[in-house]
Amino acid sequence: MTQYQPPLRDMQFVMHEVLNVVDELKQCPKHAELDADMINAVLEEGGKFAAEVLLPLNLSGDAEGCVLDKTTHEVTPPQGFKAAYAKYVEGGWPAMGCDPEYGGQGLPVVLNQSLYEMMNSANQAWTMYPGLSHGAYEALHAHGTAEQKATYLPRLTSGEWTGTMCLTEAHCGTDLGLLRSKAEPQADGNYKITGNKIFISAGEHDMVENIVHLVLARISGAPEGSKGISLFIVPKFLVNVDGTLGARNGIFCSGLEHKMGIHANSTCQMVLDGAVGSLVGALNKGLAAMFVMMNAARLGVGNQSLGLTEVAYQNAAAYAKDRIQMRSLSGPKAPDKPADPIIVHPDVRKMLLTARAYAEGGRALSIHVAVTLDKFLSSDDEDTRKEAFDEVALLTPIIKAFITDNAWIATSHCMQVFGGHGFIHDWGMEQFVRDSRINMIYEGTNTIQSLDLLGRKVLGDNGAKLRKFGARIAAFVEEEGTDEAMQEFINPLAELGDKVTKLTTEIGMKAFRNPDEVGAAAVDYLRVVGHLTFAYFWARMAKVALAKQGSGDPFYKAKLATARFYFAKLLPETAALIRTARAGLPALMEMDEALF
């Protein structure tokens, strides 16, 4: 049985001691009453729900999986999932980050994201059922009509209904311009939609009375490609004028995907057979509306991998302290035992510290982005909103790709710590590895995120967004540059910042001559910039830990040790990445296709 202790102390450290979240959010009128005690209380209760309600269902849910009744097209999730969801709703958790106008609590995004990190650690598959609902809520809140909002938002806010996003089709993954789903206008202003969707997470289940599908389709006569796509609300059950449920709509699950991981989440093949849908937003502008949900999902997937990294680390660290095998090369460390605990061995420590450094660095970045998103959503100053929007846009592909890549590394390391036991289902470690692998693929593969970062977010505006974030790093370097104790963190951060500037310029010049150079460098480039962001937040955390290490609190000693490990053992990866990014296109394109 796996164990999990919500990382409340580290969350509080990042929020209150490093990022000063309360002071940042008090500048937004809607969060003026927020204080540290409220944040801590919410996180503590959320951690209890994750550890006490969700964690016990994780292993059993993975073993049991979901069951499809092909006669009724109904899907039954694993035992206990429906009851856990009822407790989730009873606790008011779905409403936490939603608009009070629709029954929400109006709390900041950063609290919702931290709750979801803990729930993902405890049970990623379960967390995906309510997880997509919030994305559907955001899309309708931003683009829905007054009538659509009144009908759907209160029920998504309360958790009475859940939501999905139906994008992918078998012949097109990320390239949504190729989709074939059709929408035919009806006399009553609605549309009848026909098509097939695949990989729809939580597409069918019995945990709620209704599921609100957001579906991309092309209206007859619309332009080809992505410019002719519209977005529709397609509920599982039609909704009457008075809000009661009507007839079963023509959208149903025709099959469940048998996946490598997240077995307990119903990943569905969905058939739309004349399903009734209502248009969301403008005609042929569906991708713009759906991007609200897609960006939320990308941040959410990064959060899933952050949660897996944390729980994998906790279990591997506990095992390494208990498991005895061989003696330390420098002599026995536990002479009273027949062998030493494996945590004395340097490479075991390297694997554990890699996972810990990636978890704590990812948490700092994720909380920062969540607070920045809160500023965009809640500030009454347009300049603040614009700067926040640009920064979230820049960092979203890094959250999605860098944190999920790191989770794959970290969960694999943590499974390795268990040796042969790591492959055994009952220990839980192989499940973390399987679950983490999908996070690198869905919601836009990590290569797509890399192309988005380099092509759109950096070169697309001639580096303006990157320069803004780089200026923040440069100001910190300037401020701390004379502090001798900070040099081990500041010097490599400053050096990497300069290298990123030069690398960006070099790739940009190559891409001007041949755009394929972006594709050749993008994946390495994202990882370099990912390390730049982690190095910045690790340096900020080290600054606080240095100032408070005299308090005697071992937390700060551990934070400094992890920071030093990150800069000594993980950040140097950037040297090789920069070299391979600079190698460019020729080595990739020289071989004739027929020779593959």
The residues annotated with a catalytic role in the active site are 443
Amino acid found at 107: L
Q: Give every CB contact of residue 366 below 8 A, 6+ residues apart in sequence.
A: 113, 117, 299, 302, 303, 306, 399, 403
> What per-residue string of b and e applies to 419-436 under the rule 16 or more CB within 10 Å gives b?
eeebeeeebbbbbbbbbb
Tokens 């209150």 belong to which residue? 16
Long-range residue pairs from 538-541, CB within 8 A, at least 24 positions apart, any chain: 538/357, 538/361, 538/364, 538/489, 538/563, 538/566, 538/567, 539/476, 539/480, 539/486, 539/489, 539/490, 539/493, 539/563, 540/18, 540/364, 540/476, 541/13, 541/14, 541/18, 541/360, 541/364
Amino acid found at 7: P
Q: Whole-angstrom Cα distance, residue 566 to residue 492?
A: 11
Q: Whole-angstrom Cα distance, residue 47 to residue 516?
A: 46
Structural contact between residues 94 and 112, judged by C-beta atoms closer than 8 angstroms = no
Question: How many Cβ atoms from other residues are within 10 Å of residue 69's Cβ?
Answer: 10
Query: For residue 234, what is the enclosing H or E element?
Result: strand 230-235
Q: How far is CA 575 from CA 226, 251, 453, in A?
A: 38, 51, 20
**Exposed/middle/buried for residue 84 (C-beta within 10 Å: 0-12, 13-18, 19+):** buried
CA of residue 199 relative to chain centroid, distance? 17
Amino acid found at 39: I
Identify the three-state secondary structure at position 512.
helix
Q: Whole-angstrom Cα distance, residue 405 to residue 53?
A: 28
**Exposed/middle/buried for residue 165 (C-beta within 10 Å: 0-12, 13-18, 19+):** buried
Q: Whole-angstrom Cα distance, residue 591 to residue 120?
A: 43
Q: Whole-angstrom Cα distance, residue 542 to residue 489?
A: 8
Q: Is the dihedral angle over the CA atoms 181, 184, 190, 194 positive or is it negative?
A: negative
CA atoms within 13 A on the CB side of 200: 31
Identify the three-state secondary structure at position 582.
helix
Q: Whole-angstrom Cα distance, residue 593 to residue 591?
A: 6
Q: Whole-angstrom Cα distance, residue 390 to residue 531?
A: 19
Q: Whole-angstrom Cα distance, residue 107 to residue 402?
A: 27
Determine how β-strand 237-239 pairs with β-strand 245-248: antiparallel
Identify the three-state secondary structure at position 502.
helix
Distance in angstroms between the alpha carbons of the first and the last residue of the chain: 45
